[in-house]
Amino acid sequence: MNEVATAENIQENDIYIFVKIGNSSYAFPALNVLEIIKLVELEYPEKMPSYIAGILEYKGKVIHIIDLRTILKIDTEEYDVNTHILIIQGKEGVYGIIADEISDIKKIDTTIIAPPPYALGNSFTKGIYLNKGQNTTVINLDSLENWMKTTSDGETNFKEKASRLLPRDISSKEILHQRKLQLIEKTDAMPSYTGMQNKDVYISFLVGNSTYCLEIVHVGGFYKYSETKIIKIPCTPNFVAGLISIKGDYLTVIDLKRYFDNEPTNITDKSTIIAIQSKDFKVGLLADEISNTLNIQSAELYSGKNKSKNIKTDIKNEIIEYVKDNKLYLVLNVVEILNNEKIYVG
């Protein structure tokens, strides 16, 4: 899916968030993405432009949530509890963009973004990024914001839109409502906008019943387990799932659940391999599911006060316990893990 990048050569303005909207792939500059959240309960005034999916209270301010499907003339299907919202820092304020799926967060060479094969006019398409035959439309957020300011897009009745697009079952409604309350509580205590340009941005993911995270600067890419070919290697520790080939390079795939808990991972359609890399080695970490991004002050992590106690003697330097918003995160110390020679297959 993507080429593995080293932590040393990742430049922040080259990192993009790749999402699925409908059946198409779109990319947004990570520099402008403050946060990625799961869909929450939205509010609906009487009438607003049709491309607005709803409004949301975020850090004490009301922000618009944009549904690009309306602008891009993509059929609008019902949202579900797995729908995401990208919180965007724009030139003049903050807004959200609906995405069906977060498919990747990676560094790309912006010099190879090709202009679209049609006249741009007032389009907010920066260009097309082609990777292994897959086209991704790169969005120019400045142009998108200018379009929203100048468009004469017609109004829509929000209550009617809500009844069509939001989940209608009681369980989903309760999930969205609780997420909204948690978001308000969390953002009330958050400092001013920092954005993903902050080097202390972490990606979180699930392994069994635990939530792990690692600093995004170490991430070279994400690979769906179902779309990779695992090469089994005999006479290796049971936590080594095998090797995968990425553009001629081989990554040792580590089953984190076996590595830390000595229990096998239950492979599902959400199972993902996270590629991380040092100067000398490339490793893939097997996760149950990629979750959200979060900001953690690295200086606080490594000050000593958050270090886990007696997790396991042999991995005590590889994990740091961190509590944020009353939730426990197991932060991977990537340097320590990559220095463990037993994870590499010769």
What pLDDT shows up at residue 81?
A: 86
Cα-to-chain-centroid distance, residue 232: 29
The answer to which of 31-40, 59-68, 72-81, 336-345 has the lowest mean pLDDT is 336-345
31 contacts 140 by C-beta, under 8 angstroms: no
Q: Are 26 and 137 in contact (CB under 8 A)?
A: yes
Q: What is the pTM of this model?
A: 0.56
Q: Which two tokens stand for residue 99?
A: 């995405």
What's the pLDDT tens digit per position in 83-105? Answer: 899 998 888 789 999 998 888 87
Cα–Cα distance, 294 to 51 (Å, whole number): 28
Per-residue pLDDT at 5 exceeds 80: no
Beta-bridged to residue 25, according to DSSP, are 20, 136
| DSSP structure string for 266-330 | ---TT-EEEEEE-SS-EEEEEESEEEEEEE--HHHHTTSTTB-SSS-GGGTTTEEEEEETTEEEE
Output 30 or 280, whichever has higher pLDDT. 30
The two tokens of residue 71 are 């602008």
pLDDT digits (tens, 9 = 90+) for 151-200: 766 665 555 555 567 777 888 888 888 888 887 776 654 444 444 444 57
pLDDT value of residue 95: 93
One DSSP character per residue, 20-59 reads EETTEEEEEEGGGEEEEEE----B--SEEETTEEEEEEET
Nearest to 340 by CA among 220, 264, 256: 256
Q: Average pLDDT in the 191-217 region? A: 71
123, 129, 130, 136: CA torsion to nearest 10: -60
**From the centroid of its chain, how far is CA 134?**
19
Instruction: Report whether 273 contacts 244 (CB < 8 A).
Output: yes
The pLDDT > 90 percentage for the chain reads: 6
- In the DSSP assignment, the letter for residue 114 is B
How confident is the model at residue 9, as a pLDDT?
36
Tell me how far apart the alpha carbons of residues 133 and 188 are, in angstroms, rounded to a whole number. 44
Q: 51: pLDDT confidence band, cut at 50, 70 and 90?
A: confident
Contact (Cβ atoms closer than 8 angstroms) between residue 283 and residue 254: yes
Domains of the chain: 12-188 (2.40.50.180), 201-343 (2.40.50.180)
H/E run at residue 197: none
Q: If residue 218 lies in a helix (H) or strand (E), which one and from where to where?
A: none
Residues 6+ apart with CB under 8 A from 80: 39, 167, 172
